[in-house]
Amino acid sequence: MIISWFSCGVTSAIATKITLQRKNDVRVIYIDTGSEHPDSIRFLHDCEKWFEHPIEIYSSNEYHSHFDVIEKTHFLNSPYGARCTLELKKKVRWAIEDEMKVWDSQVIGYDISEKNRAIRFRQQYPKARAIFPLVEHQLSKSDCMALIRKAGIELPLMYRLGFHNNNCIGCVKGSKGYWSHIKKNFPDVFDRMAKLEREIGHSCIRDCYLDELIPVDLPPIVESCSLFCDPDFMDI
């Protein structure tokens, strides 16, 4: 049995497609954080049709979104990771792995630019028996976007709005450029996080609180936030 982790991003979609073309015994699994744009589910269903294979959807039994985690725990982010990643992604993944017990490999959608990250991943998580189809085929994220378009599938809305990844809207790992972009496209999310920062007494960006942020025209970068999101190999 192979686990292919589908994130509603373009790289995991192409990694899954390659795997399904080569293997039969595959479980495609999406962990829904409750905080991604609703268009992600449209993309998921489009990919299901393209894959001709179902995508299983799992989510936390305790929290329904990253805001729910933050409001209940009063924790934003730290050098050791975000509490929302732990509660909404990692704990759900651990439960799936505990249920399965054994697997032949796990498919991770790192692209060719993340080759070194893939090497570190294998060292950090040998139990996962990870395989990286995009690294193997030397495919970049741009290549993946082109393949998605060629399949006649519209890219997730977050990409079309200029975000680099299809992450939770209002990720606590976002840069000033990211939060400037959130303020422009999702002002209600920006205001909600800015209010939470003041209540908690800690900011998710450096040097200032969100309500003090002067919008900057920089790339909307977010630190890596995956199911295996550990500081040891995050691309910062």
Residue type, 130: A
pLDDT of residue 229: 54
The domain segmentation of the chain, as residue ranges, is: 2-159
Nearest to 110 by CA among 29, 213, 30, 229: 229
What is the chain's alpha carbon radius of gyration, rounded to the nearest angstrom? Answer: 17
| DSSP assignment string, 62-102 | S-SSHHHHHHHH-----TT--HHHIIIIIHHHHHHHHHH--
Largest CA distance in the chain: 52
**C-alpha dist (Å) from residue 157 to 95, 103, 119, 148, 222:** 30, 33, 31, 13, 16
CA distance linking residue 219 with residue 181, whole number of Å? 9
Residue 9 · residue 155 · CB < 8 Å: no
pLDDT of residue 236: 25
Residues with Cβ < 8 Å from 134, sequence gap 6 or more?
11, 14, 15, 18, 109, 110, 111, 112, 144
CATH code at 2-159: 3.40.50.620
Nearest to 163 by CA among 125, 116, 219: 219
- Count of CA atoms in the C-beta half-sphere (13 A) of 92: 23
pLDDT of residue 231: 38
pLDDT of residue 81: 85
Helix, strand, coil tally for the chain in percent (to 5)? 50, 10, 45
pTM for the structure as a whole? 0.92
Residue 105 · residue 136 · CB < 8 Å: no
pLDDT tens, N- to C-terminus, the chain (236 residues): 999 999 999 999 999 999 999 999 999 999 999 999 999 999 999 999 999 999 999 999 999 999 999 999 999 988 888 999 999 999 999 999 999 999 999 999 999 999 999 999 999 999 999 999 999 999 999 999 999 999 999 999 999 999 999 999 999 999 999 999 999 999 999 999 999 999 999 999 989 999 999 988 877 767 666 666 543 433 32
pLDDT of residue 41: 98
pLDDT of residue 185: 97
